[in-house]
Amino acid sequence: MKSIEVLGSVLFLLAVQSSRTAVAQNANPQEQPTAPRQQTKPGLDAPKTTFYHDPFLGISVVAPPGWTIVPLPKPFPDGQIRINYLDPENQAAEVAQFARPADIEPSEIDAWLSEQVLKMGHGEGLERFTVRPESIRRYPIPGGRGQRAIADYVENGQKKIEVMTWFRTDGTRSFLRARGVDPANLDSFTKRFQPLVDNIVLPRGKRKGAYTAQVAPKFRPL
């Protein structure tokens, strides 16, 4: 009889302890184990498309096979827009384009492009960020000039590459970067990345002041 009473007491204590543990866990939800969240970059929850025409700046782009366009829905306060691109092979940690209205004389575009390379030489805060001088190439684009360059840097002890492209017309400036490319994947990534670069079209003509949206953004839904 006594053994039954002891067993009952033990079961009662175990039940109390289990109840207290459950209450403590509910009172401190931050201590509960949770599944790791996938990191997201700005704007990646926006609608995805394979064709986009920006209503604020007039930039148009058609995604090459496999690529996906993810534009931010509206400009930043300073008038800058951002368009994200999803790499189908995931060989770049981030592919993003930034653009804003900015008038310039056509004769000053080459000097502007040179300044951009010098600015990037400071590294944007990335460890050992170094532009490869032999990688700098300029080429004509409709209404202006383009420029491409490659930079090496270190992230978390790993060597990485950033592929950079600048676009400049007399009324628009733009910068496209592919960051976090593994050196071993540079050639294969570049072959897929270049068609995207070639499909980006900037508007021609000076802004002559602030530019506001005239039409709704155009998408080709996935």
- Return phi, psi of residue 6, to 5°: -65, -45
How high is the pLDDT of residue 29?
A: 41
Q: What local confidence, expressed as pLDDT, does residue 141 receive?
A: 93
Buried b or exposed e, range 106-130, using 16+ CB within 10 angstroms? eeebeebbeebbeebeeeeebeebe
- To the question of domain 49-221 being in CATH 3.30.70.270, the answer is no
Output the pLDDT for position 215: 40
CA distance 61 to 64: 9
What is the amino acid identity at position 2? K
Per-domain boundaries in the chain? 2-31, 49-221
Summarised one tens digit per residue, pLDDT across range 34-75 is 333 333 455 555 567 889 999 888 999 999 999 999 998 788
Write the DSSP string, 57-104: T--EEEPPTT-EEEE-SS--TTS-EEEEEE-TT---SEEEEEEEE---
Task: Please identify every stretch of the chain with a pLDDT value under 50, giving residue numbers as ranges.
Answer: 1-40, 210-222
Token pair recorded at residue 6: 């002891």
Going by their DSSP bridges, the two strands 144-155 and 127-131 should be labelled as antiparallel
Under 8 Å between Cβ of 52 and 73: no
pTM above 0.85, yes or no: no
Residue whose pair of structure tokens reads 């990037």 in the numeric block: 120
The conformation of residue 33, written as its DSSP 8-state character, comes to -
Using CA atoms, how far residue 32 sits from 16, 22, 23, 167, in Å, is 20, 11, 12, 49
DSSP one-letter code for 46:
S
